[in-house]
Structure 1
Amino acid sequence: MTRNQPRSFAATAMLLALAACSPPDSRTDMNAVISSTADQGGAPASARNPAPKDAYRITMTLKDAPGPFAWMKALAQYDVVNKECLSPPKDNPGGRTAPVPTDDVEIPLQKISETEYVGTVYADQMLDQDYAGRGVCHWKLIQFRVHMKATGAHEETLFIPSIPDDKLLSASTERVFFNKISYSHRDSQYEPIDTGESDRSKFGPSIKDTDLFTVTFASEKEATP
């Protein structure tokens, strides 16, 4: 994942920040997929696997954070990756390209210390299905990310560190750097958002290591039951 967007920006830019981790096409959530399928007379889609087995244990470690993070929400993002299974523009209203189905699955986090949290992500969380009569749509785990705030208040900075699928599925690590100054940033009108940087050099020589805190994700493949 390349974090080349500004480190702090208004909530109106949220979709752009998250889309940077996804295919460049338009995307839609599974509620839209389910409604569309039902409207066409088909059985409502049920894309989530009720018994996933391909598990990865993710340990998230905070280091040198300037304060507590009392509010957290972890999400695993899945997208359909073969666009040819979607309806072509000629079959869509206005001749538009069909939005790419996506689903964010909330992952329970267990706090194991003041700086460590653990959650389990399943690579097979989604079931491949035929939604448009054009063949089976294949789902893929795109990323695991955690939304974090000091207390959860709207005006506080929303930090969103993440680990991309290639590192998660290879049982690797991802370290994300944040500037501590963002922690104290408040905006009553817009929700400040900071996705961090995986490349320390992006902060420039004027930013010292003591100005930063990190969130590190370590992925470990769990044994199949």
Structure 2
Amino acid sequence: MRIVIAEDSVLLRAGLTRLLEEAGEEVVAAVGDAPALLDVACRLQPDVAIVDVRMPPDLTDDGLRAAVQIRRDCPAVGILVLSQYVEETYATELIAAGTERLGYLVKDRVADVPEFLDAVRRVGSGGTALDPEVISQLLARSRQRDPLARLSKREREVLSLMAEGRSNQAIAANLIVSDKAVEKHVSSIFAKLDLPPAESDHRRVLAVLRWSQQ
């Protein structure tokens, strides 16, 4: 797997490079600021860009803003954000663009090497690696009251099966109802969970995340 590392700490950048290379991955670039990240990510097209939130030139959220731009301009590049905290505004924007090839971990997770390597490989393979703390904070931000309480018994059954990864057709077969009935339940779930229509199909993912937090 080809990887770019964007981390302004020289020691951490070197440590991540060594860890990944010893695990058999290829680090094609390691940079220390957001402009350099934007350059190498779109020019080299790595499988994954591992991005620190706080980076030069401003040492605020430059890395996360660069990640959002890479997701927009170079969607084939997987993004794994490492952060000391959850920056809700840009994290929401990242997820709103779709959860494929996306990860967001608090830096404490890097200490668990197998878990960190698994996250890198999942993102590079087109999957998702969202830290439980990230999910919790993003859901808390949008939840004014428990939206799951609005769901009917049948809608909860449908959402439970969605959380198992079932398609609408599989849900219909399981509940012995028509595909059209399942589609109506799914639309109602989205409405009751305050998940309006969007260009991407992340509403199904967000609905499942909310179910998993109950």
Which structure has greater helix proportion?
Answer: 2
TM-score category (smaller protein): under 0.3
Which structure has greater strand proportion?
Answer: 1
With normalisation by structure 2, the TM-score equals 0.22
With normalisation by structure 1, the TM-score equals 0.21
